Structure 1
Amino acid sequence: MFVKKALKGIPLAIVLCVIGAPNVHSKDLLSAGTTPSAPEEPKKSETITLGELLKIAVENNPAIQASESAAHAKKASISAARTLPDPTVTLQSMGDVIPGKLQRGDPSSARVIGVEQEIPFPGKLGLKGKIASIEAEVEQLNHTQTRRQIVAELKQAYYELFLVTKSMEIVRTNMKLLQDLAEVAETRYRVGQGIQQDALKAQVEISKNIERLLRLDQRRVTAEAQINRLLNRPPDAPLGKPADFQKAELKYSLEELSQMAKLNSTALQVREREVERGQRTVELAQRGYYPDFSFGFNYYDREENPKMYGWMLKASVPLYFWRKQRPESESARSSLESARKMRESTTVSLDSEIKQLYTVATSSDRLVKLYATVLVPQTKFSLQSAIANYQVGKADFLTLIDSFLALQEVELKMYESLSDFEKALAQTELLVGTDLTG
């Protein structure tokens, strides 16, 4: 960086003092205990892209696999709901018990083979099949929602890890430069050309950066554990360094995003299917007031007497409708009303959440552009000016440190805004049901 190059321009007398002066450490200046060490700089590792992580997650995440299996199970149950109940086969022997023989001369003595089939009132099986089909659609939508949820969580964890990695790189690089500045300040103080406050200020800022690195390292471990969880790996499984990526662009207005959510949101589609299921359940409950039927056919083997055939038709009578059918109907209508209210609540929540995320995305987008095009260049120029003035004695050491730290802060804020923007897009994708970043 230009800061380190500029340090080489410190007056020759000071540089000679640095070379020839005794080795002065922070413990000589600070009496408040030992400064904690910064986290070790990670060894160079291969970079990994977001696309590679997403592919692994979709293939291995147990939540996605479980929801897919549940969707298949619901789909397989549709035909069973539409099918008639199993018929009943009857075998009877009317005669002697031991030994089991017919009684001669008794016309009622016979061997009987019968078949009986229960037939629900017309329309009931069709409604049960429609309800099962809707439930299968809901489960399939839940699978899609689970997949999108995992993708959104992985994207947010990836951008968090990217932010932490970039921040640690910036802080580590700046710590090395701060140490160079601290050595200059300590040497100037020892030779009487500076004040102790300068050396203390540099060491304090180094300690602050050590603290920042420790906190960033904690966030790194958390982000890596989150990514490994989504990939179905052990929490401490090694991950590559997040690769740089091209910043996405939000090409849609708030109104367009809201319209996309109404068309593609899986959460809203689930609510719609639940309302439809409630309507079919009400219809089925109303048909509970109608009787179900049973049809049977019997064959009588009477040996010495002529063979006989018989049939029967039975109908259930909903005699206790006020204790069974009526409560079932009321329960179905209440469930339908609840599903409608939940649909309304989901619609309102979607609009509110999309608006919040849109505000975060647009403001973060503007901040990224402001930092990249204005604040970072201006702060770099301010630091260059401070270094130049410090070399000729027109600026004190504290001004130089403040300018240096200001550049570090705007660089960190730029990456933080970039991460916030990408995270907001990932959450918005989950709500609108559409890929916004490619």
Structure 2
Amino acid sequence: MKTLTAGLIFLSLSPALPAGEVQRLNLKAYLDEVRAGNPEIAAAAALSGVYSARIKQAWLPEDPQLEFERMYADGTLGSGAAERNILIRQAFRNPYKMYLQKGAAAAENGYYSGLKEDRINRTLAEARAAFYEYALAWHHELVYSENLELSKKFSRIAETRYAVNQGSQSDAIKAQVELSKAMNMVITARQEKETAAARVNNLRGKRPDAPVAEPEPLEANAPVFEYSSLEAAVLAKNPYLAAMASRLKSAEKKLSLARAGYAPDFMLSWRRRASDDAAMNGTYDVSLGLTVPLWFAKQSAGTREARSERDMAAAEYEAAGNSVLLELKTITVKLDYYRRLTDLYGNTALPQAEVSLKASEAAYQAGKTDFLDLVDANRTLLETKREYYEYIAAYASWLGRLESLTGAEFGKNGDPL
């Protein structure tokens, strides 16, 4: 009895479950916090910014060269020069090469931009799972708290029946054991709720011990999805697939650029003279030079390298498509599984378990059944409630993964918003 008394004192000192209107943690507002404060999303956005800034760097020409010439000097350090010239040189890549370089850099930026969107979607899916895990922890505490009250009630009934010689001492002791177990369940549920709250805070970039409001209650909303329409949405909108397509496009541009290595680049020079010779003074020279791709083995090796990279990107794009469709199939199977269980438990199993407990309680009070039957009925109701809320949370979490995969948010009827 000392352990039981200590447990009751702990539960009485623990924060009471909120009642009535309270401030709740809204899923949409929480996801907005994650989008704004998650460090992994910030890192992906910064990396995307790096490659966005590289587009102009990839194709714009190098800085021009400015030279000061002192010609025919007869003194130290160029003194006494008969000509004092200014020379400007500018190297220009072949315009076709510049076009290809710009296209390759833009496609590479598209790759990292797609990875950024994929990171955002996957982090938000993880955040949805954390939110529903936290909401499930709240429901577990509510369910176990209800079970605790029922255990107290059954314990009083067993003790009363024993006091008037209508029940056995064994039933009263069993009732105390069930009451102790019920108290431990509540304590464990509160500890699990703290762990779930820490994960919620971690994903939005806050300290693990930051306060978290009570979440919105779980709702048994499980729409049915058509696989064919989902497959079309994934192939059209999945950001990871879009990223891999951009990577393939970049590899194709680089292959074209390698093939263009046989084309010459250009050098433009301009010289202005200041000369002691009146005939040469104020004159200028203009020259246009070009590179000669003489070492063909170099260009040939570069083309083979670029072709291999293109082939690798094409294979990885195909593999990404297969992987995404496999993930979609897994998600749709899980959604159908948890939807059926949610319907079964909400419409059949849970009401039957509640009726069974009421019947067992009435039969025990009337002396028509033993205490173990009452305990078994209570445990069945407890497990049914717990599993029912777990299935609701699991469906919502898998729905978040579907939204991450398709890049679309779905309403309560299953239609994209």
Q: What is the TM-score normalised by the length of structure 2?
A: 0.89
Query: CA-to-partner distance for each residue in 1:57-98, whole Å, 9 max, x for gaps?
Result: 222223333333333343333233232222212111021343
Does the 8 Å contact 2:224/2:336 carry over to 1?
no
- Aligned pairs (5 A) from 1:50-61: 50-61=27-38
Q: Which structure 2 segments of 5+ residues have no match?
A: 412-416
Q: Which amino acid aligns with 1:346?
A: A
1:79 aligns with 2:61: no
Q: Distance in 2 between matches of 1:42 and 1:326?
A: 74
Distance of aligned partners of 1:231 and 1:82 in 2 relative to their CA distance in 1, 3 Å threshold: same
Instruction: Tell me which moved more, 164-173 or 112-121.
Output: 112-121
Among 136, 139, 156, which residue is 1:166 paired with? 139
Amino acid at match of 2:45: E
Residues 113 and 243 in structure 2, CA contact (< 8 A), matched pair in contact too: no
Q: Is contact 2:127-2:203 (8 Å) kept?
A: yes
Match of 1:93 among 70, 88, 91: 70
Q: Identify the match of residue 205 of structure 1 among 174, 178, 184.
A: 178
What SS does the corresponding residue of 2:285 show, helix, strand or coil? strand
- The structure-2 alpha-carbon separation of the partners of 1:182 and 1:268, relative to structure 1 and needing over 3 Å to count, comes to same
Give the AA of the match of 2:384: V
Deviations 1:361-394 (A, max 9, x none): 1111111111111111111111111122112211
Q: Which has the larger radius of gyration?
A: 1
Query: 2:414 matched to which residue of 1?
Result: none
Residue matched to 2:398: 424
Does the 8 A contact of 2:241 with 2:321 survive in 1?
A: yes
Residue 112 of structure 2 corresponds to which residue in structure 1? 139
Q: 1:38 to 1:270 in 2, by over 3 A?
A: farther
Q: Does the Cα contact within 8 Å between 1:102 and 1:302 map onto a contact in 2?
A: no
Q: 1:50–1:158: 8 Å Cα contact kept in structure 2?
A: yes
Deviation at 1:122, TM superposition (A): 3.3
- Aligned with 1:311: secondary structure? strand
The alignment-based identity, stated in percent, is 28
Identify which of 286, 290, 311 aligns with 1:311. 286
Partner of 2:44: 67
Task: Check if 1:272 corresponds to 2:245.
Answer: yes
Give 1:249 deviation, angstroms: 3.8
Task: Give runs of aligned pairs for residues 27-46 of structure 1, distance below 5 A.
Answer: 41-43=14-16, 44=18, 46=23
Q: Among 83, 89, 107, which residue is 1:116 paired with? A: 89
Verify the 8 A CA contact 1:26 1:203 in the aligned structure 2. Answer: no
* Preserved contact between residue 159 and residue 423 of structure 1 (Cα < 8 Å): yes
Contact preservation (8 Å) 1:71, 1:143: yes
Following superposition, the deviation at residue 233 of structure 1 comes to 1.0
Quote the offset at 1:309 in angstroms: 2.8
Say if 1:156 and 1:99 are closer, same or farther in 2 by CA, change over 3 A: closer
Q: Which amino acid aligns with 1:170?
A: V
One-letter identity of the residue aligned with 2:201: N
Q: How does 1:3-402 map to 2 (within 5 A)?
A: 25=1, 41-43=14-16, 44=18, 46-94=23-71, 95-98=73-76, 100-102=78-80, 109-189=82-162, 192-244=165-217, 246-307=219-280, 308-322=283-297, 324-402=298-376
Compared CA separation, residues 159 and 65, structure 1 to 2 (3 A)? same
Structure 1 residues 36 and 353: CA distance shift in structure 2, 3 A? farther
Greater fraction of residues in helix: 2
Secondary structure (helix, strand or coil) at the match of 1:436 reads: coil
Q: 1:249 to 1:377 in 2, by over 3 A?
A: closer
- Seen in structure 2, the aligned counterparts of structure 1 residues 392 and 186 have a Cα distance that, compared at 3 Å, is closer
Query: How many residues get paired?
Result: 404
Partner of 1:406: 380
Distance 1:264 1:295, change over 3 A: same
Task: Find the aligned partners of 1:185 and 1:72 in 2 and give their Cα distance.
Answer: 70
SS in 2 for 1:312: strand
